[in-house]
Copies of this chain bind each other. A is one copy, B any other.
Amino acid sequence: MDTGFSLLYVTAPSRDVAMTLAHALVGERLAACANLLGPIQSVYWWDGKVNDEPEVALILKTRTELVPEATERLRALHPYSCPCVVAIAIDGGNPAFLGWLAAETARI
């Protein structure tokens, strides 16, 4: 079922960077809320070799129609040249929470 809402999963180099991203996206109502998970450990290809570095993960909840704009804002604020920002469709859940998501991401 397409609820019209999505999660954005983002990784960041530090807690401070992740909190800056979270407060910006939520403050600007490009997301209704953000959960910061971590520290996490990331294994990834970069510069032709497998790297193994500490990071932090961020899960933001927003309207699917805002995903492109939220992604652009994250790219502008993020210190990486190619940040991990992936969107996952929300298929159901607590109707009252989804209503709250809609209200907190409405353009005033």
Contacts and interface: CB of A to CB of B under 8 A. Distances in A.
B68 A97 contact: no
A100 B82 contact: yes
Q: Which of A15, A42, A55, A94 has the most CB of B within 10 A?
A: A94
A93 B85 contact: yes
A17 interface: no
Instruction: Report, as a range, how many residues of chain A touch the other chain.
Output: 35 or more
A83 B94 contact: yes
A39 to B, nearest CB: 9
Given A15-B41, A85-B97, 15 more contacts: A6-B91, A6-B92, A27-B50, A32-B44, A33-B42, A33-B43, A33-B84, A34-B43, A37-B40, A45-B104, A64-B91, A67-B93, A85-B94, A86-B90, A86-B94
